[in-house]
């Protein structure tokens, strides 16, 4: 969507504010604030809405809000004294009072329904020696260079690289160049752009292995081949006593990091493209960026992006799974009043994705989540287990399996699984949910003091939503920290005055009557 006012354009699809056609630098939170106020120019925007949209429901001080409003005014040539565009309504919120012209740059489709056409072919390297700039991301894993001159380790670099290739091949959204092509590049000083051009790879992974005093040191770099930019680099140290375990551990760490980093990079690259130029994969990755913001506005944009992706490629299983996720989010967080319809859409899109690609871990994960959303945790668990079987280091699936375990009363296994998920993906966009799941695992075991520690960490993580703050309130109340629990409850009410314990218990459907009753009583004492 493009909103025009005065000589400005606010382009919500390209995340860009332009003055007379020239982009102006705006901080992300300031852009989010402008987007919220300008897109709702026909009405007053409350401070609670600003808190939800800009800070994901986390309570911030009045001074912080006012600072962002001041910066938003400066960005569009306004100030607090004139208030010619953004007007303060004291005690209530803000209103955009300029004349706004809106132009939709995405074909709206109302409530999206699953498509049933045959899969469209993906565009990949065509042998011309050009790096693909659209379509499914591609990666070339080059042999890791062994720097320690010892014949015992001569083939270790090839072995680790092959292990990484095998694990990456489980990610159906990523096109992995075969080792027969990539292993021709054995030079230490390989030209990344040249390798990417010859192999038709958008990303190139390189690295080294060295040994010092019974310790292995592995360094890796993931580069974006077209411009040579290093997307991610890391260093792993471990004991060299068990080389087989070393290979699997290193490959697991590398693959998990690559999955997150490439998707973030793809979302950034997609944001630079005009909406009309987005192909299915670019639209999908832009949708992922919005999907993880966990607020109604971004979730609606994610839905439109995923719908655009399946319109461009009807056989795109992951985009259907993305639509299942956004409709799940609508029901889970109450973004839509049509709870039953959102649950049904989450199931329909998951089933369509499964029909298109039954071996995609994300698709299987969403099938499990849709069953959970319908209240059948026993039916959902096997799909989550299958997702982990398809991709053993898939942190998102391991986290969901842990969450269902906690809801089903298995606190110990839930704790073990969630710690594995956190260690595999410490910078995951769902880190707050993983931390909150660790808190739930302690709640169901009756260890309320430890639950408090993890719940407090969860509320401080980016994008923590209202249910996360409710878990913190529950942990504080059960641990006897009534004053802190009441502060949590006040924050929840300020975020959504209509929120109550039924919203939480409908989302987190504990199968054990004792745990459910305990949560219900504790939240009732807090007025929720």
Write the DSSP string, 288-351: HHHHTT-SHHHHHHHHHHHHHHHHH-TT-HHHHHHHHHHHHHHHHTT-SS-HHHHHHHHHHHHH
User: Taking 90 as the threshold, does the pLDDT of residue 449 lie above it?
Assistant: yes
Residue where a domain stops, chosen among 262, 295, 325: 262
What is the model's pTM? Answer: 0.68
Q: What was the pLDDT predicted at 150?
A: 64
72 and 159 assigned to the same domain:
no
> Could you write out the DSSP letters of every residue in 50-112?
HHHHHHTT----HHHHHHHHHHHHHHTT--TTT-SSEEEETTTEEEE-S--EEE--S---SS-
In this prediction, residues 261-288 reach a mean pLDDT of: 81
How far apart (Å, rounded) are the C-alpha atoms in residues 31 and 53?
A: 11
End-to-end CA distance of the chain: 37
Q: Of 70-84, 288-302, 442-456, give the range with the top mean pLDDT.
A: 442-456
pLDDT category of residue 504 using cuts at 50, 70 and 90: very high
Is 81 in the same domain as 202? no
Span 272-276, average pLDDT: 72
- What token pair was written down for 356? 């298109």
Looking at the structure, do residues 462 and 501 belong to the same domain, yes or no? Answer: yes
Residue 247 or residue 385, greater confidence: 385
Neighbour count for residue 370 (Cβ, 10 Å): 28
Under DSSP, the state recorded for 277 is G
In this prediction, residues 267-273 reach a mean pLDDT of 78
* Residues 418 and 381 occupy one common structural domain: no
Alpha helices in 114-242 (DSSP H): 156-168, 179-182, 192-199
Window from 156-160, 192-196, 305-309 with minimum mean pLDDT = 156-160
pLDDT over 90 at 403, yes or no: yes
Is there a single domain that holds both residue 288 and residue 181? Answer: no
Query: How far is the C-alpha of 208 from the C-alpha of 226, rounded, in Å?
Result: 22
Q: Is the pLDDT of residue 122 over 50?
A: no
Quick one: pLDDT band at residue 121, thresholds 50, 70, 90? very low
Q: Are residues 369 and 398 in the same domain?
A: no
So what's the pLDDT on residue 131?
42
pLDDT of residue 47: 81
The answer to whether residue 110 scores a pLDDT higher than 50 is no
The CATH number covering residue 36 comes to 1.10.10.10
Say if residue 149 is in the same domain as residue 164: yes
In a domain, 440, yes or no: yes
Does residue 118 belong to any structural domain of this protein? no
Q: What is the pLDDT of residue 134?
A: 59
pLDDT in tens, 199-258: 888 999 998 888 777 787 888 999 999 888 898 998 888 776 666 666 677 777 788 888
Q: What is the pLDDT of residue 116?
A: 33
pLDDT, tens digit, 9 for 90 and up, residues 71-107: 999 999 998 888 999 999 888 889 999 888 877 544 3
Residue 525 lies in a domain: yes
Question: So what's the pLDDT on residue 126?
Answer: 38
Lowest mean pLDDT among 261-265, 372-376, 484-488, 507-511: 261-265
How many domains would you assign to the chain?
4
β-strand pairing of 203-212 with 138-141: parallel
Q: Is residue 64 part of a domain?
A: yes
Q: Greater confidence, 56 or 77?
A: 77
With respect to residue 70, please indicate whether it lies within any of the assigned structural domains: yes
Domain boundary among 342, 372, 392: 392
Position 241 in a domain: yes
pLDDT at 182: 80
Instruction: Decide if 449 is inside a domain.
Output: yes
- Select from 103, 126, 149 the last residue of a domain: 103
Residues 242 and 343 in one domain: no
Residue count (the chain): 528
Whole-number percent of the chain with pLDDT over 90: 38
Q: Domain check: are 82 and 158 in the same one?
A: no
Looking at 349-402, which runs of residues are DSSP E strands? none
Q: Which residue has the higher pLDDT, 172 or 345?
A: 345
Q: What is the pLDDT of residues 31-54, one digit of tens each?
A: 888 988 998 888 888 887 787 777
Domain that holds residue 414: 394-528
Q: Is residue 35 domain-resident?
A: yes
Residues 6+ apart with CB under 8 A from 243: 156
* 428 and 332 assigned to the same domain: no
Q: What is d(CA 372, CA 375) in angstroms, rounded to the nearest whole number?
A: 5
Residue 128 DSSP symbol: S
CATH number for the domain including 432? 1.25.40.10
Give the pLDDT band (50/70/90) at residue 151.
low
Residue 154 CA to residue 124 CA, distance in Å, equals 33
Least confident of 147-151, 172-176, 338-342, 450-454: 147-151
Token pair 């062994």 in the structure block, residue: 146
Cα separation, 196 vs 29, in Å, equals: 35
Mark whether 410 and 528 lie in a shared domain. Answer: yes
Are the C-beta atoms of 258 and 205 separated by less than 8 Å? yes
Handedness of CA 466, 468, 474, 479 (dihedral sign): negative
118 pLDDT band (50/70/90 cuts)?
Answer: very low
Same domain, 427 and 350: no
Dmax over CA atoms of the chain, in Å, equals 75
């Amino acid at each position: 969507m493009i909103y025009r006012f005065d000589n400005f354009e606010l382009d919500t699809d390209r995340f860009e504010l332009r003055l007379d056609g020239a982009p102006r630098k705006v901080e992300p939170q300031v852009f989010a604030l402008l987007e919220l106020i300008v897109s709702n120019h026909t009405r007053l925007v409350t401070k609670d809405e600003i808190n939800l949209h800009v800070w994901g429901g986390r309570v911030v001080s009045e001074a912080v809000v006012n600072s962002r409003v001041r910066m938003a005014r400066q960005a569009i040539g306004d100030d607090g004294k004139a208030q010619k565009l953004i007007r303060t309504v004291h005690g209530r919120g803000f209103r955009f009072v300029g004349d706004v012209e809106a132009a939709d740059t995405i074909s709206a489709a109302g409530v999206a329904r699953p498509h049933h056409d045959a899969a469209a072919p993906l565009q990949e390297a065509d042998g011309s020696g050009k790096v693909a700039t659209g379509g499914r991301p591609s990666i070339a894993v080059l042999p890791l260079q062994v720097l320690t001159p010892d014949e015992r380790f001569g083939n270790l670099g090839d072995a680790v690289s092959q292990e990484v290739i095998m694990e990456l091949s489980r990610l159906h959204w990523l096109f992995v160049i075969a080792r027969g092509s990539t292993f021709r590049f054995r030079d230490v000083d390989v030209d990344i752009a040249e390798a990417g051009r010859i192999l038709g790879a958008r990303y190139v992974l390189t690295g080294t292995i060295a040994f010092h005093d019974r310790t292995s040191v592995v360094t890796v770099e993931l580069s974006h081949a077209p411009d040579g930019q290093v997307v991610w680099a890391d260093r792993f140290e471990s004991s060299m006593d068990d080389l087989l375990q070393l290979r699997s551990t290193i490959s697991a760490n590398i693959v998990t990091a690559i999955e997150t980093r490439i998707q973030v990079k793809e979302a950034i690259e997609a944001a630079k493209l005009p909406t009309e130029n987005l192909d299915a994969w670019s639209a999908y990755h832009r949708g992922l960026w919005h999907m993880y913001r966990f607020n109604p506005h971004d979730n609606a944009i994610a839905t439109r992006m995923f719908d655009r992706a399946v319109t461009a490629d009807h056989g795109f299983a992951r985009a259907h799974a993305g639509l299942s996720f956004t409709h799940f989010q609508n029901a889970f967080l109450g973004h839509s009043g049509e709870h039953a319809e959102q649950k049904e859409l989450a199931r329909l899109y998951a089933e369509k994705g499964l029909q298109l690609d039954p071996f995609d871990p994300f698709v299987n994960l969403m099938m499990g989540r849709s069953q959970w959303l319908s209240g059948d945790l026993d039916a959902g668990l096997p799909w989550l287990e299958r997702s982990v079987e398809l991709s053993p280091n898939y942190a998102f699936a391991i986290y969901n399996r842990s969450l269902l375990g906690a809801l089903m009363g298995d606190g110990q296994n839930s704790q073990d699984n969630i710690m594995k998920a956190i260690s595999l993906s410490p910078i995951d966009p769902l880190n707050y949910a993983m931390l909150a799941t660790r808190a739930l695992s302690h709640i169901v075991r009756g260890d309320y003091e430890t639950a408090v520690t993890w719940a407090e960490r969860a509320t401080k993580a980016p994008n923590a939503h209202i249910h996360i703050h409710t878990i913190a309130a529950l942990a504080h109340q059960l641990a006897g920290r009534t004053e802190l629990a009441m502060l949590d409850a006040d924050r929840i009410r300020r975020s959504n005055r209509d929120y109550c314990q039924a919203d939480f218990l409908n989302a987190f459907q504990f199968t054990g009557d004792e745990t459910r009753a305990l949560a219900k009583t504790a939240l009732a004492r807090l007025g929720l």
